[in-house]
Amino acid sequence: MTSKQGILLGTLARELISRGFDVLVTCREYEYACKVLDALRVPHLSVGKYSEGGPVAKVYEDGLRVSALANIIRDFSPEYLIAYPNPSAARVAFGVGIKYIALTDSPHAVIPSRLSLPLADFVVFSECIPVDEVEHYVSRKFTKLVTYRGVDEVSWIKRLEPKVEDLRSLGLKPWEYIVFRPAEEMATYYRGLNILSAHEVLQVLTKLGYEIVLLPRYSKHRELEKEGVIVLEEGFSGPSLTYFAKLVVTGGASIAREAALLGTPSITYTPLELHVNSCLESWGFPLVRVKSLPELEAVSRDMVERSTSSDRALYVSKAKSLEDPLTTVERILTGDST
305 or 11, higher pLDDT: 11
Residue 13: Cβ-neighbour burial (10 angstroms; 0-12, 13-18, 19+): buried
Statement: residue 337 has pLDDT above 70: no
- Bridge partners, 179 (sequence order): 213, 248
Do residues 155 and 229 lie in contact, with contact meaning Cβ atoms separated by under 8 Å? no
Q: Please state the domain extents for the chain.
A: 3-149+323-333, 163-320
196 or 234, higher pLDDT: 196
pLDDT digits (tens, 9 = 90+) for 161-209: 999 988 888 889 999 999 999 988 777 666 777 889 889 999 999 999 9
**Single-letter amino acid code for the residue at 83:** A
pLDDT digits (tens, 9 = 90+) for 55-79: 899 899 999 999 999 999 998 989 9
Q: Strand locations in the chain, DSSP E?
A: 26-29, 45-49, 80-83, 99-103, 122-126, 144-148, 177-181, 211-214, 229-231, 247-250, 266-268, 287-289
- From 173, 241, 238, select the one nearest 211 (Cα to Cα): 173
Task: Please report which confidence band the pLDDT of residue 132 belongs to, taking 50, 70 and 90 as the band edges.
Answer: very high
Helices 293-306, 198-206: crossing angle, 10 deg rounding: 40
Task: Please report which confidence band the pLDDT of residue 220 belongs to, taking 50, 70 and 90 as the band edges.
Answer: confident
Helices 55-76, 87-96: crossing angle, 10 deg rounding: 40
163-320 shares the fold of 3-149+323-333: yes
Statement: residue 299 has pLDDT above 80: yes
Superfamily the domain 163-320 falls into: Glycogen Phosphorylase B; (3.40.50.2000)
Do residues 271 and 195 lie in contact, with contact meaning Cβ atoms separated by under 8 Å? yes
CATH architecture of 3-149+323-333: 3-Layer(aba) Sandwich (3.40)
Residue 2: Cβ-neighbour burial (10 angstroms; 0-12, 13-18, 19+): buried
Q: Once rounded to an integer, what is the mean pLDDT over residues 275-300? A: 96
